[in-house]
């Protein structure tokens, strides 16, 4: 007789088992159960939905590199209220701009990155310039890995403290205006016109990286949606339930795809067990003259570095509103905060939040 304990134990392992299944290298897993929103849908769990095309004007959408809202393909998943998946709504060529921002602009000071934990600010001041310089050195003198290749995460706005798992009022730098506007338009199109981008976490995945099972609950107001963008190679994303052990649904996230976790889905367990090569038919990032103005266009030289990078990597951008309307941070003793900062994230429990190498 199967005991209750055995059933509970089995359930407890359901997410972990599926995570391990998709992470496995030898033999490679069967991917036939992974939803692919870029393909005609066969599952009755996937529901294509209409969103209000008037919520964002075509001009406002184009200004941040997005197609008119009426052309977006938007999906809900049965059993996951508030979860919204939008297949690549970017205008042709505009992803290159966002990739360049994520690789060249956002890692710059005053933003914070994993390399700051064991390098001086002057060494991490311009990761891009140092990496490009290293790449173009004559062979023998190259560092084995560029700083760009060692970049794992960048934080924006209210800088997430990985140790205390909190944000705080006194560790804030201005959130990039163009990413704030992009997020605002997407949230507005999804029915959240009041969304305010206050914190960003950028994850940089190599082909063997994964992201452990977790919930994003550090933000103080969970009624605000969380936006997630994917660029470069594809990922297998697992969306679970409110309990750690609930078995998850697997789906591909391809370059340009967006997820909005709102409502009940805002606090669901999720993970990225595997990065997979972008399929040929999914329009991968291409360079074009798109940019909010001439100065903002991606140059040939910059694009050469970006395209090389994303051939083997994935960039994930999550944008969060930390505080609800007229909410503020609770008072925290300064001493506590400073103690928590500056520790190397690699010493932390494996699998929480930042992509890990295997």
> What is the contact surface with ligand OGA in residues (CB under 6 A)?
201, 203, 211, 216, 228, 230, 235, 237, 253, 270, 272, 316, 318, 353
Query: Which listed residue (69, 188, 216, 236) binds Mn ion by CB under 5 A?
Result: 216
3-state secondary structure 93-158: CHHHHHHHHHHHHCCCCCCEEHHHHCCCHHHHCCHHHHHHHHHCCCHHHCCCCCHHHHCCEEEEEE
202 contact, one of Mn ion, ligand OGA, none, CB 5-8 Å limit per kind: none
Asked if residue 280 lies in contact with residue 268, where contact means CB atoms within 8 angstroms, the answer is: no
Question: Binding-site residue total for Mn ion (CB under 5 A)?
Answer: 1
Calculate the dihedral angle through the C-alpha atoms of 195, 199, 205, 211, rounding to the nearest 10 degrees: -90
Residue 334 CB, nearest approach to Mn ion (Å): 28
Choose the contact partner of 183 out of Mn ion, ligand OGA, none; CB within 5 to 8 A by kind: none
Q: Phi, psi (5° rounding) for residue 206?
A: -90, 175
Q: What is the smallest separation between the CB atom of 146 and Mn ion, expressed in angstroms?
A: 27
Q: Pattern of binders to Mn ion over 173-212, x per CB under 5 A? A: ----------------------------------------
Of ligand OGA, Mn ion, none, which one does residue 228 interact with (CB within 5 to 8 Å by kind)? ligand OGA
Return all residues near 144 (Cβ < 8 A) that are at least 6 apart.
none
What number of other Cβ atoms are within 10 A of residue 250's Cβ? 19
CB of 216 to ligand OGA, least distance (A): 5
Token pair 């190259």 in the structure block, residue: 142
- DSSP code string of 167-236: --TTSB-PPPHHHHHHHHHHHHHTT-TT----EEEEEEEETTEEEEEE----SS-TTS-EEEEEEESEEE
Of 219 and 302, which CB lies nearer to ligand OGA in the complex structure? 219
**Minimum Å distance from CB 259 to ligand OGA?**
7
- Of the pair 56, 224, the CB lying nearest ligand OGA is at 224
Assess contact for 323 and 329: CB atoms under 8 A.
yes
Q: Give whichever of 230 and 233 is closer to ligand OGA, judged by the CB atom.
A: 230
Q: Which stretch binds Mn ion (CB under 5 A): 110-118, 123-131, 214-222, 273-281?
A: 214-222
- Complex with Mn ion: residue 216 or 219, whichever CB lies closer: 216
The DSSP output letter for 40 is -
Q: Which is nearer to ligand OGA, 16 or 63 (CB)?
A: 16
Between 175 and 303, whose beta carbon lies closer to ligand OGA?
Answer: 175
Nearer to Mn ion, 168 or 354 (CB): 354
Q: Residue 316 binds which one of Mn ion, ligand OGA, none, with CB within 5 to 8 A depending on kind?
A: ligand OGA
CB of 270 to ligand OGA, least distance (A): 6
Structure tokens at 88: 């690549």
Nearest to 36 by CA among 45, 27, 28: 45
The residue whose Cβ lies closest to ligand OGA is: 316
272 binds, among Mn ion, ligand OGA, none (CB under 5 to 8 A by kind): ligand OGA
The yes or no reply on residue 219 touching Mn ion (CB under 5 A) is: no
Task: Return the number of the residue (213 or 297) whose C-beta is nearest ligand OGA.
Answer: 213
Q: Phi and psi at residue 139, in whole multiples of 5°?
A: -40, -65
Pairing of strands 153-157, 249-253: unpaired
Q: Are strands 112-113 and 356-357 parallel, antiparallel or unpaired?
A: unpaired
Task: Please state, in angstroms and rounded to a whole number, the distance separating the CA atoms of residues 284 and 195.
Answer: 29
Contact positions vs Mn ion (CB under 5 A):
216
């Amino acid at each position: 007789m199967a005991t209750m304990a055995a059933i509970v134990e089995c359930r407890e392992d359901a997410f972990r088992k599926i995570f391990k299944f998709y992470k496995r290298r030898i033999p490679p897993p069967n991917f036939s159960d992974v939803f692919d929103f870029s393909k005609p849908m066969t599952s009755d769990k996937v529901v294509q939905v209409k969103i209000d095309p008037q919520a964002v004007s075509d001009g406002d959408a184009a200004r941040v590199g997005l197609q008119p809202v009426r052309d977006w393909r938007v999906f809900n998943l049965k059993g996951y209220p508030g979860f919204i998946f939008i297949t690549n709504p970017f205008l042709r060529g505009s992803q290159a701009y966002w990739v360049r921002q994520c690789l060249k602009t956002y890692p710059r000071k005053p933003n914070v990155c994993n390399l700051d934990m064991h390098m001086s600010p002057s060494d991490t001041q311009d990761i891009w310039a140092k990496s490009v310089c290293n790449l173009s050195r004559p062979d023998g003198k190259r560092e084995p890995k560029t700083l760009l290749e060692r970049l794992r995460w960048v934080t924006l706005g209210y800088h997430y403290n990985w140790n205390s798992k909190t944000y705080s009022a006194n560790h804030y730098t201005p959130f990039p205006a163009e990413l704030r506007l992009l997020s605002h338009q997407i949230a507005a199109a999804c029915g959240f016109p009041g969304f305010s981008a206050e914190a960003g976490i950028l994850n940089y995945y190599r082909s063997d990286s994964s992201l452990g099972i977790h919930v994003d609950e550090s933000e103080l107001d969970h009624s605000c949606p969380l936006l997630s963008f994917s660029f470069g190679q594809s990922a297998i994303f697992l969306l679970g339930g409110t309990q750690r052990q609930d078995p998850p649904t697997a789906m591909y996230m391809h370059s340009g795809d967006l997820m909005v976790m709102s409502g009940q889905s805002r606090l669901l367990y999720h993970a990225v067990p595997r990065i997979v090569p972008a399929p040929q038919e999914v329009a991968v990032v291409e360079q074009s003259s798109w940019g909010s103005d001439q100065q903002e266009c991606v140059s040939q030289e910059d694009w050469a570095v970006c395209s090389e990078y994303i051939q083997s990597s994935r960039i994930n951008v999550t944008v969060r509103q930390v505080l609800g309307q007229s909410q503020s941070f609770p008072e925290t003793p300064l001493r506590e905060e400073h103690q928590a900062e500056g520790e190397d994230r690699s010493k932390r429990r494996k699998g929480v939040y930042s992509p890990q190498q295997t």
